[in-house]
């Protein structure tokens, strides 16, 4: 099963095996997934974390880009620094 997310008109679109499964969120700028959770950057610069299409939590500020791997969320900030989060808690900033 191929699972990916993309941002279309400010919403997250989940695509499974080439077909749109569902859309959710609003004012989304960037999104990424590891297959279990979807993390997205909103237009206000915060990170929104979704699971099964439902919002779990919001955190962070000044975010520009997001990556997800193994439940860890890496957020690139506007100034180029990277912050890592697990379960909404900041682990490291560099």
87, 52 contact by CB (below 8 A): no
- State pLDDT tens for residues 31-82: 999 999 999 999 999 999 999 999 999 999 999 999 999 999 999 999 999 9
41, 49 contact by CB (below 8 A): no
15, 51 contact by CB (below 8 A): no
Total domain count for the chain? 1
For residue 10, CA distances in Å to 5, 71, 76, 83, 93 come to 12, 24, 19, 23, 27
Which domain, by its residues, includes 36? 3-93
Sheet holding 3-8, edge to edge: 3-8, 11-16, 19-24
Q: Look up the pTM and report it.
A: 0.93
């Amino acid at each position: 099963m191929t699972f990916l997310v993309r941002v279309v008109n400010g919403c997250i679109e989940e695509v499974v095996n080439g077909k749109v499964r569902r859309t959710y969120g609003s004012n989304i700028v960037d999104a990424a997934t590891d297959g279990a959770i979807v993390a997205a950057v909103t237009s206000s610069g915060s990170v929104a974390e979704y699971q099964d299409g439902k919002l779990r939590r919001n955190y962070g500020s000044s975010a520009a880009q997001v990556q997800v791997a193994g439940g860890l969320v890496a957020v690139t900030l506007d100034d180029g620094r990277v912050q890592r989060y697990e379960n909404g808690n900041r682990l490291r900033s560099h």
